[in-house]
């Protein structure tokens, strides 16, 4: 899963980037509204964390422009403690949720996870496909109750597929959602990750759709690899 963090406070930005990456996200960072608006409009993200008090272009303006451009990426806004009017303005502009400063990073993580689940039509933090379970709260994967250890990139790939069951996901889309902007992206490595995940799970829930990409299906319905 890939996030955009738009925050002008360098210390808070570094702290949040570290925490979010520690929770398994690929994170792009922007320090002003103009650059943040550009990234949110041109890159693919699963969720955006947006501070409202930004230089060059304020957060409300950024969010308003995204929604006017029909960008539906879930947005979590960061507001000042006494900024009730900002909360209202942010929600009216199209924000999906908000966190009040100062905040606990655990709350931001929980709200981001919830936003991504809701956007994917998933209500529970436990995502299931056949015998495979992925817990978005703990970042743990199990098969028939037995834990499976995945690398960070393998987990990101499986998590993205499990958030979008039955949908055919291209290699390009997977690449865009498991790497941050600065990573040297190579879609050919997706094949390697898929092969590793299949081997570690021991059940093939990832179907290769020739010429199109990959699709998560129940192992019992699998017709081809």
**Percent of the chain having pLDDT more than 90?**
66
- Which of 69-78, 198-207, 214-223 shows the lowest per-residue confidence on average (mean pLDDT)? 214-223
Alpha-carbon distance 177 to 197, whole Å? 17
What pLDDT, on the 0 to 100 scale, is given for residue 81? 64
Residue in 115, 148, 159 with CA at minimum distance from that of residue 24: 159
Question: Over 70: is that where the pLDDT of 180 sits?
Answer: yes
| pLDDT digit string, tens, across residues 117-132 | 998 888 888 999 989 9
- Domains, in order of start, for the chain: 2-119 (3.40.50.2300), 126-221 (1.10.10.10)
pLDDT of residue 60: 94
Q: 47-51 and 75-79 as β-strands: parallel, antiparallel, unpaired? A: parallel
Confidence of residue 184 (pLDDT cuts 50, 70, 90): low
pLDDT at 19 > cutoff 60? yes
Report the predicted TM-score, pTM, of the whole model to 2 decimal places.
Answer: 0.83
**Cα–chain-centroid distance for residue 99?**
18
* Mean per-residue pLDDT of the chain: 89
Q: How confident is the model at residue 183 (pLDDT cuts 50, 70, 90)?
A: low
DSSP state of 195: H
Beta bridge partners of 76: 49, 97
Residue 110 pLDDT > 50, yes or no? yes
In the predicted model, is pLDDT for residue 46 greater than 60?
yes
In this structure, the number of other CB atoms found within 10 A of the CB of residue 210 comes to 6
Which pLDDT band, with edges at 50, 70 and 90, does 187 fall under?
low
Q: What is the pLDDT of residue 188?
A: 72
pLDDT band at 225 (very low <50, low <70, confident <90, very high): very low
- What helix, strand, coil percent values describe the chain, rounded to 5? 40, 20, 35
Most confident of 59-68, 99-108, 171-180: 59-68
Q: For residue 183, which phi and psi values (nearest 5 degrees)?
A: -75, 145
Q: How far apart are CA 148 and CA 133, in angstroms?
A: 10
Interatomic CA distance for residues 28 and 184, integer angstroms: 14
Mean pLDDT within 150-163: 93
Mean pLDDT computed over 142-160: 93
The pLDDT of residue 82 is above 80: no
Is 54:62 a contact under the CB 8 Å cutoff? Answer: yes
User: What is the model's pLDDT at position 165?
Assistant: 86
24-45 per-position pLDDT tens digit: 899 999 999 999 999 999 999 9
């Amino acid at each position: 899963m890939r996030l955009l963090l738009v925050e002008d406070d360098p210390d808070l930005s570094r702290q949040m980037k570290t925490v979010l990456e520690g929770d398994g996200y690929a994170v792009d960072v922007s320090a002003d509204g103009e650059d943040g608006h550009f990234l949110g409009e041109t890159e693919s993200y699963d969720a955006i964390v947006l501070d409202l008090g930004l230089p060059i272009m304020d957060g409300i303006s950024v969010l308003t422009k995204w929604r006017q451009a029909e960008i539906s990426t879930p947005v979590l806004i960061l507001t000042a403690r006494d900024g009730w009017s900002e909360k209202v303005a942010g929600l009216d502009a199209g924000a999906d949720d908000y966190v009040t400063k100062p905040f606990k990073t655990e709350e931001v993580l929980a709200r981001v996870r919830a936003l991504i689940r809701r956007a994917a039509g998933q209500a529970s933090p436990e995502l299931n496909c056949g015998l495979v379970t992925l817990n978005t709260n703990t970042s743990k994967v199990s098969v028939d109750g037995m834990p499976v250890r995945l690398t960070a990139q393998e987990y990101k790939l499986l998590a993205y597929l499990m958030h979008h069951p039955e949908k055919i996901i291209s290699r390009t889309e997977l690449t865009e959602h498991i790497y941050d902007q600065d990573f040297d992206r190579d879609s050919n490595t997706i094949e390697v990750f898929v092969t590793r995940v299949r081997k570690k799970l021991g059940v093939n829930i990832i179907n290769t759709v020739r010429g199109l990409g990959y699709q998560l299906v129940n192992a019992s319905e699998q017709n081809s690899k």
